[in-house]
């Protein structure tokens, strides 16, 4: 198998199998592919799949990928779109080097080839008019009728075509058509159009041309000019392939490119038709092509989605011949997968409610970590703390319902990174609205002379009233309410696709950061500054993605023999996933065979949110992952031996490549940056020293894992990452269970 120069494991699919066979047979020694966008709009998420696929193939096989602009329609194309496409592609991380091409550079060659077909009696000028030609094509069940101009002589056709080029005729009065077969079962072969007359200035060619080639005429020959070996298109071009081949064969072009089709990337609650996207922009349903709600690459970039997350999503979606609609949750997962380890944690209050600490005077600065404990980073930021704070209004209830775990009269909570407070009194305005809470402050420091703090009901986030920063926060949701918006897509526009919070306040530490920094607003979501509307004097933050599934450990479902726990607002979690019975029968059987005791419902959630999303319509029966291995991964994540993100990566590896849980875990652990081989040898040596404790662990005394972690940390003199040590120990110990 060809290797990827970046050291990544290449995905396997039918296209790579074809290329492997072509190389092995000697048909090709070098691979040339291309990405051919039309510069009549901005790139969207569907284009990202084609970009990552084609440039990935070129990189993997040591070939090249041309960026070729299909600029054959001057009425809708512009240099603005050319520049925007190149900008988006560079942001996605692809490099076409010197291989920038334009179909318009081939206009003369295409024109001369059209003359060759005319001379061979395989093309003619038709004066019938657009509507008459459409009517003459027939239907799928009824053959077409021949044009009355089909029998024109070669000389007459050559003369008319030359005059068309010189601008002798008006727009739409004549076309050049191929003479093939008006009764052909493939309607693409019923004397297709090759050229139309357009007295329009081309953004690159100026007024040099009055006739412009249709895409189907320019496509195959442009590939041939560039030496493309594998012309990769989406499935809708399958019916075009016989026509492309007919043109190439009729011109005697050999060797000629071979076309292969794959299923385009479709994303639920999204449209990727450039016509419809253009209408959204022109009718001002969105603010522009780069509106953060748009599926354009520019929109995704402005929203703050990292480029590697888009590539990861395209990989998860897979390359197949079967068209499916990917769930938006799959893209969200890829984004969280990237941001979880790169987005700083800060606090932002979206709907502020004033809190006064009646027994506290002065102010102080708290050093708070940017990262949770399971991320091995040690950066800190200053948090301002004073007598007057702001909390989120939803974190208080004057009359709390059962199970509410926030602040209420007479109740206590812990302020994130700070202390415990108790609500003693509530201040209301003339309309009865709560405007202030009077609270008692309980110092965090041990040894305080104050009474022992009460047990807090939960943890809430906060900011200092005086020194926090006012910001505008935009919460983005799906642009459409239906999974597959059709022609009535405007009726499916989501009125809640953007929710603006104008009175939000954020901790002042963000003022020290670059505008490009991405954050996790704790318990709210992932955010970044809006690169268009934000300024140093007026900060605007947009939500990149919600916090669903971003926790390090899922506690949504309680384990066997433990009382059910009422979820609280602090969990930063989505509502509970599907029950076991809601899963497809094959998936349900897989879970039942592999789940650990007491983890059936947890495994059902993993199956729905991870496995089925990764499969994206493929059958579970055909994957190499074993049910027992799936259950082990879920168990390790729920036990805290690995993070949820690590578990998902392991499942992706098991589904794609098979192997054991240990092998998948080691592949994921190899990304830690540590000397994995050296640390693994220490782990194995430690386990060999205590065979009795290993046996006890495998009989059920899983608390011994802490003992083993301590021993390894002692041997490494505290230099190893504790989380990684725990990962490796759990993987090694589970092999014998």
- Catalytic member of 179, 274, 293, 573: 274
Q: DSSP characters for 534-588?
A: -BTTB-EEEEEE--TT-SSS--SSPPTTS------GGG--PSP---GGGS-HHHH
* Three-state DSSP string of 325-372: EECHHHHHHHHHHHHCCCCEEECEECCEEEEEECCCCCEEEEEEECCC
Give 359's contacts (C-beta < 8 A, 6+ positions apart): 440, 441
* Cis ω before 499 (30° cut-off from 0): no
* Element at 67 (helix H, strand E): strand 64-69
Q: DSSP characters for 443-456?
A: -SSTT-SSPPPPPP
Query: Number of C-alpha atoms within 13 angstroms, CB side, residue 704?
Result: 18
Task: Compute the radius of gyration of the chain from its Cα atoms.
Answer: 31
Rounded to 5 degrees, what are φ and ψ at 434? -70, 125
Residue 350 CA to residue 498 CA, distance in Å, equals 14
Q: Which residues pair with 262 in a beta bridge?
A: 234
- Do the beta carbons of residue 418 and residue 459 sit within 8 Å? no
Q: Is residue 12 among the annotated active site residues?
A: no
- In three-state secondary structure terms, 198 is coil
- Catalytic member of 264, 397, 588, 662: 264
Rounded to 5 degrees, what are φ and ψ at 391? -120, 170
CB count in 10 Å sphere of residue 166 = 9
Q: Is residue 561 among the annotated active site residues?
A: no
Residue 360 CA to residue 304 CA, distance in Å, equals 39
Residue 426: exposure state from Cβ atoms within 10 A (0-12, 13-18, ≥19): middle
Structure tokens at 76: 């809708």
- Do the beta carbons of residue 257 and residue 28 sit within 8 Å? no
Q: DSSP characters for 91-139?
A: HHT---TT-EEEGGGGHHHHHHHHHHHHHTT-EEEE-S-HHHHHHHT--
Q: Is residue 188 among the annotated active site residues?
A: no
DSSP code for 678? H
Rounded to 5 degrees, what are φ and ψ at 308? -60, -30
Give, to the nearest 10 degrees, the angle between helix 328-339 and helix 644-657.
120
Give 404's contacts (C-beta < 8 A, 6+ positions apart): 397, 457, 568
Query: Burial letters for 405-424: b for 16+ Cβ neighbours within 10 Å, e otherwise?
Result: bbbbeebbbbbbbbbbbbbe
CA nearest 105: which of 136, 66, 59? Answer: 66
Residue 541 CA to residue 534 CA, distance in Å, equals 7
Residue 326 CA to residue 268 CA, distance in Å, equals 6
* Length of the chain as a residue count: 737
- Catalytic member of 12, 38, 484, 551: 38
Residue 326 CA to residue 295 CA, distance in Å, equals 13
State how far Cα 56 lies from the chain centre. Answer: 17
| Residues with catalytic roles | 38, 264, 274
């Amino acid at each position: 198998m060809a290797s990827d120069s970046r050291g990544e494991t290449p995905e396997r699919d039918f296209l790579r199998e074809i290329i492997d066979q072509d190389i092995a047979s000697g048909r090709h020694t070098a691979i040339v592919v291309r990405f051919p966008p039309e510069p009549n709009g901005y790139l969207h998420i569907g284009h990202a799949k084609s970009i990552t696929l084609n440039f990935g193939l070129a990189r993997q096989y040591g070939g090249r990928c041309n960026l070729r602009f299909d600029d054959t329609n001057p009425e809708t194309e512009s240099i603005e779109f050319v520049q925007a496409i190149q900008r988006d592609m560079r942001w996605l991380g692809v490099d076409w080097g010197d291989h920038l091409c334009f179909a318009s550079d081939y206009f003369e060659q295409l024109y001369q080839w059209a003359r060759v077909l005319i001379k061979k009696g395989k093309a003619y000028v038709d004066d019938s008019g657009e509507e008459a030609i459409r009517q003459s094509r027939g239907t799928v069940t009824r053959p077409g009728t021949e044009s009355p101009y089909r029998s024109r002589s070669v000389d007459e056709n050559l003369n008319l075509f030359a005059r068309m080029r010189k601008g002798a005729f008006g727009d739409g009065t004549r076309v050049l058509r191929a003479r093939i077969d008006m009764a052909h079962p493939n309607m693409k072969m019923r004397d297709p159009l090759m050229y139309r007359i357009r007295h329009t200035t081309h953004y690159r060619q100026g007024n040099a041309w009055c006739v412009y080639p249709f895409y189907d005429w320019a496509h195959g020959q442009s590939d041939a000019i560039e030496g493309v070996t594998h012309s990769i298109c989406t499935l809708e071009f399958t019916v075009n392939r016989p026509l492309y081949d007919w043109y190439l064969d009729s011109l005697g072009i050999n060797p000629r490119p071979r076309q292969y089709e794959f299923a385009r990337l479709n994303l639920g609650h999204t449209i990727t038709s450039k016509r419809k996207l253009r209408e959204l922009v022109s009718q001002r349903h969105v603010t522009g092509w780069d509106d953060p709600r748009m599926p354009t690459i520019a929109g995704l970039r402005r929203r703050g989605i990292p480029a590697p997350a888009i590539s990861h999503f395209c990989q998860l979606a897979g390359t197949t011949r079967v068209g499916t609609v990917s769930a938006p949750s799959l893209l969200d997962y890829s984004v969280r997968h990237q941001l979880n380890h790169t987005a700083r944690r800060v606090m932002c209050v979206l709907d502020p409610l004033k809190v006064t600490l009646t027994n506290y005077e002065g102010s102080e600065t708290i050093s708070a970590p940017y990262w949770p404990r399971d991320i091995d980073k040690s950066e800190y930021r200053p948090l301002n703390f004073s007598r007057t704070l702001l909390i989120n209004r939803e974190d208080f209830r004057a009359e709390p319902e059962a199970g509410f775990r926030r602040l209420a009269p007479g109740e206590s909570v812990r302020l994130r990174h700070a202390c415990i407070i108790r609500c003693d009194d509530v201040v209301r305005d003339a309309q009865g609205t709560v405007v202030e809470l009077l609270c008692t402050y309980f110092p965090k420091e041990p040894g305080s002379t104050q009474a022992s703090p009460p047990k807090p009901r939960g943890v809430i986030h906060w900011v200092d009233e005086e020194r926090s920063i006012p910001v505008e926060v935009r919460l983005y949701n799906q642009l459409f309410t239906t999974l597959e918006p059709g022609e009535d897509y405007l009726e499916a526009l989501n009125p809640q696709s953007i929710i603006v919070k104008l009175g939000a306040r954020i901790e002042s530490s963000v003022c020290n950061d670059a505008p490009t920094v991405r954050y996790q607003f704790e318990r709210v979501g992932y955010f970044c500054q809006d690169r268009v509307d934000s300024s140093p004097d007026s900060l605007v933050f947009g939500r990149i993605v919600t916090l669903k599934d971003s926790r390090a450990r899922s506690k949504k479902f309680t384990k066997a023999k433990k009382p059910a726990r009422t979820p609280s607002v602090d969990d930063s979690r989505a509502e509970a996933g599907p029950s076991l019975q809601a899963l497809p029968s094959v998936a349900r059987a897989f879970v039942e065979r592999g789940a650990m005791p007491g983890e059936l419902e947890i495994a059902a959630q993993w199956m729905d949110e991870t496995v089925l999303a990764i499969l994206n319509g493929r059958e579970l029966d055909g994957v190499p992952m074993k049910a027992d291995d799936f259950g082990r991964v879920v168990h390790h994540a729920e036990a805290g031996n690995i993070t949820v993100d690590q578990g998902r990566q392991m499942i992706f590896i098991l589904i794609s490549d098979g192997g054991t849980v240990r092998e998948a875990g080691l592949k994921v652990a190899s990304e830690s940056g540590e000397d994995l081989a050296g640390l693994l040898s220490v782990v194995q040596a430690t386990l060999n020293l205590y065979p009795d404790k290993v046996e006890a662990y495998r009989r059920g005394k899983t608390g011994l894992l802490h003992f083993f972690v301590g021993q390894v940390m002692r041997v490494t003199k505290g230099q190893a990452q504790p989380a990684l040590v725990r990962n490796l120990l759990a993987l090694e110990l589970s092999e014998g269970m």
